[in-house]
Amino acid sequence: MPASPLERLRHIRDEAVYLARRTKDLRGDDFLTNEHLKRAFVRSLEIIGEATKQIPSDFRQGNPELPWRLMTGMRDRLIHDSGGVDYEIVWQTATEDIPGVLEKVKRILETAE
């Protein structure tokens, strides 16, 4: 049985929480030199994008406050771009975009649960 949209949102929330916690006291330069963190951040963004792809379009259309297309686009870029990962973009996404995504996902979950 496929996961419900709320289960997928919980996956997104959990990965966003991880990213928010890890970036809290981390400098960009430290991130860019830490291979373990770089790979972990990429994996979290892939999970967020994949969970987003599994959410039905009617649910996404009913919750337009989230950047659904950008979230799936990041996943596609990370998985399919053979040119390598731009870790500065990964850092920027984790520090600038994910906090807002996290707050919006939390609001949707609070309303639905």
Examine the residue annotation and report whether 80 is marked as an active-site residue of this protein.
yes
- Choose the catalytic residue: 36, 43, 80, 107: 80
Active site residue 75: yes
Catalytic residue among 43, 75, 77, 107: 75
How deeply is 22 buried, as exposed, middle or buried, from its count of CB atoms within 10 A (0-12, 13-18, 19+)?
A: middle
Burial category of 81 from C-beta neighbours within 10 Å (exposed 0-12, middle 13-18, buried 19 and up)? exposed
Phi and psi torsions of 3, nearest 5°: -70, 150
The CA R_g of the chain, rounded to the nearest whole Å, is 14
Catalytic residues: 75, 80
